Amino acid sequence: MTTTSIGNTPIRRCDFLSTLFNTNVFIKEEFHNLGMSAKDRPAYFMIQDAIKAGRIQPGGTFVEASSGNTGLGITIIAKQMGYQAKIFVSKSCSQEKIAILTNAGAEIEICDNSNGLHDFHSTQFRAQSFAATHANTYFTNQYYNTQNIRAHYKTTGPEIWEQTQGKITHFLCGVGTGGTISGVGRFLKEQQKNICIWGIEPEGSILRHFLLSGTVPNEIKPFDAIEGIGRNFIPGSFDPQQIDTIFQVGKAETIAMARAYRDETGILSGFSSAAVLASLKRYNKEMQLNPSHTVLLFFPDHGSRYVSKLYAETADKQRETVKTHP
Ligand code: PMP
């Protein structure tokens, strides 16, 4: 990709997790991207595609519905190319992400939910309405834009294949729009069809049900927010053909795993990254991992974006220490 520092992120072996789960665990660290998340990749592809197709003129405004990361990628790339960004985020978005987006220059609107286009109060509906009623705007629409899957098929998948020298046996990542798992899954399965492509979502999200049955559940309930993952509608960028299994985890076990990983490694994992860790712990028996496997965990962003949600207890303790030892 041409915008500096998008893609070609490193992978790192994690000895702690390798020992804990008796296999070889590698982590793809997507916080090395320009906007510090994996979502810079689809943001770049969607923007380039819209400009090339003449769907927006210089100085126009890119509009997106986002849990924060795609919005930031869009904002930075748009700005560097001479465009504006208007981002619709749901009220569950962390205060850190909202502060970062605002600093990057996005105009932000906070919506009730991200339930999809059929809900008048959702980020997606509000973004689409805004773009439809304002001149020289373009709704990138990551949930249905084919460039979302394509970005991961063209960049993330090949990087992972090359960085693991074709040894990867399992790919684990959180599922939100489905772009990452669908694009990476498709590329990896084209190289070696037996690679396990495993998604992770919060309990109550409906993608697992859809994968297993091809239908949506009769009753759709609200579910625990693990930022960036989980859906109560089926996005167009979710391709069940590329996915073997979806595991579900809870918010409490995710937070516990984020803290355990931090205590061992000193690294703050992002919220959805910690959900992947929680799935390894909870489904350890079912996963049947062993030392012959090469397991790649996808970390889309960094825990610095979720200090208030995941790591606040340490921040509080630290403030007390600062007070008592001036
Ligand atoms: N984790 C985080 C932190 C994210 O921002 C996203 C994107 N919403 C995801 C996971 C899920 O990625 P995808 O949309 O490609 O399924």
Give the catalytic positions in this structure.
Answer: 39, 272
What ranges do the domains of the chain cover? Answer: 11-32+155-315, 40-139
User: What's the CA-to-centroid distance between 67 and ligand 1, angstroms?
Assistant: 8
For ligand 1, say whether the CB of 300 is within 6 Å of any of its atoms: yes
The answer, yes or no, to whether any atom of ligand 1 lies below 6 A from the CB of 301, is: yes
The residue length of the chain stands at 326
For residue 88, how far is its CA from the centre of ligand 1 (angstroms)? Answer: 16
Q: First-to-last CA distance in the chain?
A: 48
Token pair listed for 88: 């619709």
Quote the ligand 1 centre to 161 CA distance (angstroms). Answer: 20
**Does the beta carbon of 35 sit less than 6 angstroms from any atom of ligand 1?**
no
Is the sign of the CA dihedral 307, 43, 102, 87 positive or negative?
A: negative
Q: Can you tell me which atom of ligand 1 is nearest the CA of 177?
A: 14
Residue of 61, 63, 7, 11 lying closest to 39 (CA atoms):
7
**ipTM > 0.90 (yes/no):** yes
Give nearest CA residue, ligand 1 atom 9: 228
pTM of the predicted model over 0.90: yes
What is the percentage of the chain residues whose pLDDT exceeds 90?
91
Nearest by Cα to 269 from 227, 231, 317, 230: 227
Above 90 in pLDDT, residue 228? yes
What confidence tier does 265 reach under pLDDT thresholds 50, 70, 90? very high
Residues 229 and 86: their CA atoms lie apart, in Å, by: 22
- From the list 278, 68, 288, 60, the residue with the least C-alpha distance to 196 is 288
Which SS3 state, helix, strand or coil, does residue 11 take? strand
pLDDT at residue number 320:
58
Which of 177, 197, 277 maximizes ligand 1 atoms within 8 Å of its Cβ, making it the mutation to test the pocket?
177
What is the CATH code for 40-139?
A: 3.40.50.1100
**Per residue in 86-103, pLDDT tens?**
999 999 899 999 999 999
Contact 30, 9 (CB under 8 A): yes
Q: How confident is the model at residue 326 (pLDDT cuts 50, 70, 90)?
A: very low
As separate numbers, helices (DSSP H) first and strands (DSSP E) second, the chain gives: 14, 10
May I ask the CATH architecture of the domain 11-32+155-315? 3-Layer(aba) Sandwich (3.40)
Alpha-carbon span 269 to 271, nearest angstrom: 7
Distance 272 CA to ligand 1 centre (A): 8
Same fold, 11-32+155-315 and 40-139: yes
Question: d(Cα 229, Cα 51) in Å, to the nearest integer?
Answer: 28
